[in-house]
Amino acid sequence: MGGSIGVKDEGGGRFYITATTNSAPAETPGTARKMWTKAAAEACGGEAYVEEDTGIYSYDHAPAFLGLRYIVTVMSGTAVCSEVDAEEQTVE
């Protein structure tokens, strides 16, 4: 996977995470979510976490060339590390 991950430690087991995919000819929300959840799991040290105020959006990174679009998809939001069971995680 390409793209980038940004993780900001907000303290108290809270991490604001932004996962940005590489450009692609179509939106890739599944890839952005996979990147975000991996970063959240790592930030929480393998503990369960709850998603807070997460969202996914896409935008055209550059003008279309020969009919091909360059779309970047981003997922951002806060992972709140907790001791809850994985079944209790909130997923949007």
Q: What's the confidence (pLDDT) of residue 83?
A: 58
Query: What is d(CA 16, CA 5) in angstroms, rounded to the nearest whole number?
Result: 11
Structural domain count of the chain: 1
79: in domain:
yes
Beta strands at 48-65 and 68-82: parallel, antiparallel or unpaired: antiparallel
Q: What is the pTM of this model?
A: 0.82
pLDDT at 77 over 90: yes
User: What domain range is 79 assigned to?
Assistant: 4-84
Q: What's the confidence (pLDDT) of residue 89?
A: 46
67: in domain:
yes
92: in domain:
no
pLDDT at 79 over 50: yes
Average pLDDT over every residue of 47-70: 89
72: in domain:
yes
pLDDT at 56 over 90: yes
pLDDT at 60 over 80: yes
Q: Are 26 and 60 in contact (CB under 8 A)?
A: no
